[in-house]
Structure 1
Amino acid sequence: MKLLVTGGAGYVGSVVTRLLLDAGHEVVVLDDLRTGHADAVPRGATLVTAGLADAARVLTPGSGFDAVLHFAGLIAAGESMVRPEIYWDVNVVGSLALLHAARAAGVPRMVYSSTAAVYGNPARIPVPETAPTAPTNTYGATKLAFDHALTSEVHAYGLAAVSLRYFNVCGALVRDDAMIGERHDPETHLIPIALEVAAGRRPHLEVFGDDYDTPDGTCVRDYIHVADLAAAHLLALDAATPKEHRVYNLGNGNGFSNLQVVDAVRAVTGHPVPVRVSPRRGGDPAALVASSVLARRELGWTPARPALHDMIGDAWAYLRR
């Protein structure tokens, strides 16, 4: 198939691009490199340096794209609470421009990178896809808005759409022919920051809040290996069905607190990780753990590397490389 991957110079998008190329697909990456890296785009893919607003430059009538895999967007929940306007602009306005261009070009399928943040503070753990959506931050609200737009597109125009709601992605693709990992600037995710502390690149790790209603007072999250997450996208691409908008949660079904993650980083690296506790960030849910029963049943998806220590080990190997 001929595929457009938006945000293919980013962390998850670049790993998915590598797997798509391995599967024999033709891949064009659309990325404005605002947060991505040109050298992260796997060899064999074509990079078009442009934003979502310019998607029509690539998705032209007759261009022959079979699907769009949409990863491009802003992802920092904390930042979204202090700079909400850029999140609405990129994640909603930009995504709608992409959707309009895809419709005009006759693209029949779209796989969307959504998020567990749409659930806010869920009443039930693990979280099923039927849980009420009540995001507690602007990031989650913008991602949910485009989920709704996809549902409307499916009903009105027959698009085949799949939304994959990620829980916390970590790890790296570690192979002889490929080493792709997480390198946001600035970095906002717990595991890569903790690893930078272990490597001596930061003096300490900042933990936001230790007074949540959790066993040790810190936030609890479900972690999923980026390679397992990427594999789910290829399955979703095959499962996309005209006039249906399918939604799947992707996680391991196990929750780890921030302090448990820090202990795991210490164990994997053999280095100290000093911790400093700061006040809570606005919009952070206390706990988010996925139920991925539906993805396992309907997509046939099973995480190959579900152990937290393995995920941290691969991320550590990437950081040292």
Structure 2
Amino acid sequence: MTARLLVTGAAGYLGSVLCEHLLDAGYRVTALDSLMYGQNSLFHLCANPAFDFIEGDVRNEDLMQRLIKDADVIIPLAAIVGAPACKRDPGMTKSVNLEAVQLINRLRSPQQLVVYPNTNSGYGASTGDTYCTEDTPLDPISLYGQTKVQAELELLESPNAITLRLATVFGTSPRMRLDLLVNHFVYTAITDGYLVIFEKDFKRNYVHIRDVADCMIYCIQNAEKMTGRPYNVGLDEANLSKEELALKVKEYVPNFYIHFAPIGSDPDKRNYIVSNQRLREAGFEAKRTLDDGIKELLKGYRMMGRAPFKNI
């Protein structure tokens, strides 16, 4: 029988790509989203009879109880994402990022698999000199990281859960995000033509959005050997400093002016490099390169046309 999947936050940046991959892999998908940003990023899936969409709030217990009972696998993507958005509304952040995941965990049976996307920002402001593994102590420095880490820990104390500590994601999506670092650097390069970078040596890891989707499918298909553990999900060759990332973008946008400011600080203090060895040993490895992503983004941004408030 075809597995039935419930994806919350399905119309978001990751969800709108993931649902496409899940359907292509032969799963039945019920997508739940509150559409708080007014997005229509799942229109292209509506013709597929294996796809269904529910507009609703992941914090609605009656709704979640009804949807969860029909699911074999639950992928809780619904979240207030990123440190600035979380800081703007701390109460909503806690209720969506943590309490809604606790609700799912309470309502599901031990036989229902959860594949949960955490963030590797939980490693916090490390030195950037040594690799963070899944055994590295978690020390999140933002409310976003704190809520995601707490939700992960509670899931891993329960049966039949896999958690994925995602690197900074890049690539195009029907629900595009420009605040993610690679996406932002490329967009700024072709619109503003210049960028001021503080703390240029701070490092982090990156991963393509479609590799994340493929990884989630791999987890579903190999759940028996993977449950009960967290996995870092990133591109091994993409442990880069902000300087290295900006210079990589400049290879494709030669007139991009980059100023490395010696004075000043970035509010995002993350500085770490990540080992993805555990996931590779489990049989999955991210393949899509930063070069692939930059070329893809340049193509996609040409479709965005003029910014609505810029008279150019």
Q: TM-score, normalised by structure 2?
A: 0.84
Partner Cα separation in structure 2 for residue 46 and residue 236 of structure 1: 22
Residues 112 and 160, structure 2, Cα contact 8 Å, conserved in 1: yes
**Which range is displaced more, 128-137 or 83-92?**
83-92
Name the counterpart of 2:307.
Answer: none
- SS of 1:15's equivalent in the other structure is helix
Which deviations, in whole Å up to 9, do the C-alpha atoms of 1:142-191 show, x marking residues without a partner?
Answer: 11110122123x2xxxx31000000111123xxxxxxx35623xx42222
Name the counterpart of 1:205.
Answer: 195
- SS of 1:314's equivalent in the other structure is helix
Name the counterpart of 1:257.
Answer: 241
Name the counterpart of 1:293.
Answer: 277
Residues 162 and 236, structure 1, Cα contact 8 Å, conserved in 2: yes
- SS of 1:53's equivalent in the other structure is coil
1:297 Cα offset (Å): 0.9
Which residues of structure 2 form unaligned runs of 5+?
304-312
Structure 1 residue 309 corresponds to structure 2 residue 291: yes
Name the counterpart of 1:239.
Answer: 222
Residues 59 and 65, structure 1, Cα contact 8 Å, conserved in 2: no
Distance 1:203 1:70, change over 3 A: same
**What are the equivalent positions in structure 2 for 1:72-221 lying under 5 Å apart?**
72-81=78-87, 83-103=89-109, 108-122=112-126, 125-152=130-157, 154=158, 159-172=159-172, 180=173, 183-184=176-177, 187-200=178-191, 202=192, 204-207=194-197, 209-210=198-199, 217-221=200-204
Name the counterpart of 1:16.
Answer: 18
| Pairwise CA RMSD | 2.7
1:52 Cα offset (Å): 1.1
Given candidates 261, 269, 289, the residue that maps to 1:284 is 269
Partner Cα separation in structure 1 for residue 14 and residue 32 of structure 2: 14
Q: TM-score, normalised by structure 1?
A: 0.82
Distance 1:171 1:233, change over 3 A: same
Residues 41 and 174, structure 2, Cα contact 8 Å, conserved in 1: no
Partner Cα separation in structure 1 for residue 155 and residue 140 of structure 2: 18
Which residues of structure 1 form unaligned runs of 5+?
173-179, 211-216
Partner Cα separation in structure 1 for residue 116 and residue 106 of structure 2: 15
Given candidates 59, 71, 79, the residue that maps to 1:65 is 71
Distance 1:114 1:267, change over 3 A: same
Name the counterpart of 2:306.
Answer: none
Which deviations, in whole Å up to 9, do the C-alpha atoms of 1:221-277 show, x marking residues without a partner?
Answer: 111111112111011112224994221001123321222222222222444255585
1:56 Cα offset (Å): 3.9
Name the counterpart of 2:309.
Answer: none
Q: How many residues align?
A: 294
Distance 1:37 1:51, change over 3 A: same
Amino acid at match of 1:30: L
Distance 1:67 1:85, change over 3 A: same
Partner Cα separation in structure 2 for residue 57 and residue 79 of structure 1: 26
